[in-house]
Amino acid sequence: MTAKSRNSLLTRMYRCRYLYLLFLPVFIFYAVFRYLPMWGLIIVFQDFRPFWGFANSPWVGLAHFQNFLTNPIFWNVVWNTIVLNMLGMVFVFPAAIILALLLNEVRNMKFKRTIQTISYLPYFLSTVVIISLISSILSPTTGPVGDLYRSMGWEPVNFLARLEYYRTIFIVSDVWATIGFGSIIYLAAISGVDQSQYEAAIIDGAGRFKQLWHITMPNIMPTVAIMMILRVGAIMSSDFEKAFLLGNAATRANADVIATYVFRVGIEQTNFSFATAVGLFNSVIGLVLVVGTNYLSKKTTGNSLW
């Protein structure tokens, strides 16, 4: 870098000093809590013991990865993680888009704001509160669902302890908790559509559905593509808190995902190296999915993260 370009760079940085100052807390957070801990990834190649430290723990190479890939539980936790996220792609992801499109058609602003407030309010509840509400509602002894069953002369069902209902409860509750907040992103994209396109469509005789299909949808597709890329990148990840709190011994066959398995092995069994290896494996797969989906999106739609 020449002295002239260096001075120009310093001048631009000084001119934007307040923006850099606003960015500083974010930089510190990611440096301390995201990048600095990456040094600890060295333990995936060690039989790490806290009292021995990084320097004295013996090296085992790729043994932890081999153990995970040959472990009988490997396919179960990977399958559960993929299935839950694929169900989320099918039901949770489009739910926010559909709600945004429906709200955009509402002309009564008071009713529209009321629906918006009610729909995105659950997003601000903690996972613990949401699981507590689900447990209370579905309780076979004290919940309203159990009371409904008894009023109809049926034996109440303990849905939370039934393996076949776990994924349905997980996805339905995910839709309920995220649909409102997710719709805000698409409503913002819809608000940026040039209104002259709608006016021209009306002159040409296009109805509400044709305006939706030929104007609204194409204009929000870049936003949908970006959100899809991010969603696919997280397909090997799961909401740990929700999976951990909602699952139990009776539903573990469907509830045990990679995140809960890492917690159980790393924290409960104190096998830190193995748990870190599993987490790194999960992160690498997620990175490959993000890069691959971004490439496909760029080639097919022209929209991408980079």
CA distances from 283 to 88, 227, 259, 278 (A): 19, 19, 11, 9
Q: Look-up: residue for tokens 């997620």?
A: 286
pLDDT in tens, 272-294: 899 999 988 888 888 888 888 88
d(CA 9, CA 3): 10
Sign of torsion, CA 266 272 278 283? positive
Is residue 2 very low, low, confident or very high in pLDDT (cuts 50, 70, 90)? low
Question: Given this model, what pLDDT does residue 4 score?
Answer: 63
User: Does the residue 22 lie in any domain?
Assistant: no
User: Does the residue 12 lie in any domain?
Assistant: no
User: Does the residue 189 lie in any domain?
Assistant: yes
Whether residue 198 is predicted with pLDDT greater than 90 in this model: the reply is: no
Whether residue 1 is predicted with pLDDT greater than 70 in this model: the reply is: no
User: Does the residue 99 lie in any domain?
Assistant: yes
User: Does the residue 262 lie in any domain?
Assistant: yes
pLDDT in tens, 121-155: 888 888 899 999 999 999 888 889 988 888 888 88
User: Does the residue 31 lie in any domain?
Assistant: no
CA distances from 237 to 131, 260, 278, 285 (A): 19, 10, 12, 10
Take residue 72 and report the two structure tokens written for it. 């009988």
Residue-number span of the structural domain to which 106 is assigned: 80-300
Question: Given this model, what pLDDT does residue 39 score?
Answer: 85
Whether residue 95 is predicted with pLDDT greater than 90 in this model: the reply is: yes
Q: What is the mean pLDDT of residues 74-88?
A: 92
Q: Count how many domains the chain has.
A: 1
Among the listed residues 237, 238, 252, 242, the one whose alpha carbon sits nearest the alpha carbon of residue 131: 242
d(CA 122, CA 102): 19
CATH number (domain holding residue 106): 1.10.3720.10
d(CA 180, CA 186): 10
Question: Given this model, what pLDDT does residue 285 score?
Answer: 87
DSSP state of 39: G
Whether residue 306 is predicted with pLDDT greater than 80 in this model: the reply is: no
d(CA 257, CA 85): 11
In the chain, what percentage of residues exceed pLDDT 70? 98
Residue 165 CA, distance from chain mean position: 21
Question: Given this model, what pLDDT does residue 27 score?
Answer: 93
User: Does the residue 129 lie in any domain?
Assistant: yes
Average pLDDT value for the chain:
88
User: Does the residue 186 lie in any domain?
Assistant: yes
